[in-house]
Chains A and B, each alone.
Chain A
Amino acid sequence: MGETGRYLYVVTRDLDPAALVDLPGLGGGSLELVEYEGLLAVVSSVDLDEYGEEGLRANLENLDWLEGAARCHDAVVQAVAAVAPAAPLRLATICLDDDAVRLRLREWHAALVQILDRVQGRSEWSVKIFTDERRPPAPAHAGGSGPDDERPSGAAYLQRKKADTEARLAGETAALEVVEQVHETLAGYAEATRVLPAQDPRLTRHEGTMLHNGAYLVEAAREPDFVACVTRLVAAHPHVTIDLRGPWAPYSFAMLDQR
């Protein structure tokens, strides 16, 4: 190993170090705690050949590397979040030494405490809504269409196009109403919500259009009610696909208001 840096996974407090035993850090490094006035950063040493600017630039373009790093980072965050409040750090936050880590904990102390207060005893749930392309709305112009190569008359063409547009707009409006209703209903079970950007279908390969990508911060005691509510919404809205995933560590609710 060449020069090393300290990779930061998560900031927490009151953590029993037993939670980290046998859990590997990136590259097999062992996890350690860096403390500053009640805050604990979970860190491990990483090789700067791999995690320096140059190494990262190349490695972040390697999906296998990225996935491995992301899953390891998340495993550490999850292990911490299971037993203590957790403010997960963005992937690839690296300091040169423990003093540099403490400097960050000092600089952002108040904001980090605020995040830990916000997420304590709560988890993040992801709810996505997709249009279901396999169940298109009833066609507006059933029957009467000629062979493909037959050119429709100008008037018929315009009429058909208008009907198509109207059907599409009606479908979109209905879908947006479903999104609004689902989001509002779920927000009633959540301490906080965030609407994330819809994901690129080239990455997820989902079918249909992602209409909603919501994150919900849910109190542990309310999780059964939240999940039951999603189940009811799935049954109530058969024309869209509602996808529930969780619980996650509260990544989407651990944002510093600094940008």
Chain B
Amino acid sequence: MSAVDVAGVWKFYGDYPALRDIRFDVHPGQCLALLGRNGAGKTTLLKILAGLSTAQKGDVKVFGRSVRDSAARGSIGVLGHGIGVYDELSAFENLKLFANLYGLADAEGTARAWLKRVTLENVADALVREFSRGMRQRLAVARTFLHEPKLLLLDEPFTSLDDRSIALLQGVMAESLARGATVIMSTHQLREAMELASHVVLLNRGRLSFHGARPDEMLADPTWLYRQYGEG
């Protein structure tokens, strides 16, 4: 069974087709880099995969289920453009809240363990509004990974992260892949992405230009795929 099955997805903003008949599947354990220029449809596709938006045509299945199925959503971790944590709650309260919403048996223990993992244990009871940008990003990483998701949807995860947060994120992503999780990440930072990606999807103005195993040429020259299949 595919981890993600995207079957003929169309999405329109007004009359403009942001996604045009997108079809691909991702098998469990794969790390898929979702590439494309700005406006190619990467974020739109990730929003549909996360259940934040619906496709006008076509269908998306996550582990054989609709993305709006509670069980499917419980197996997904999403790191988007917003950090998705509450400024007026403490770091601990935020992680405990999401641990509870994901139905984890030991919500407090899990929250404490992840605060330690992202080195925020000393400020566990401080309100997030007092945090620096880097601390907020590390908390967002903890929020995304705390329920050990089987599918990770990461929308430009390395953008504007500091070095410490990039190292942390690469570490937890590698751990997730090692335990068999599936990762789909959109990114413009090709070098970081190519270190982890086993497969690549290239979108070009809402159309699927390429889907397959990461070409070896991309290790030496990450922009190779754009020149071959994209807009150059």
Asked whether A and B interact, the reply is no
- Residues of chain A having any CB pair with chain B under 8 Å: none
- B contact residues vs A (CB 8 Å cutoff): none
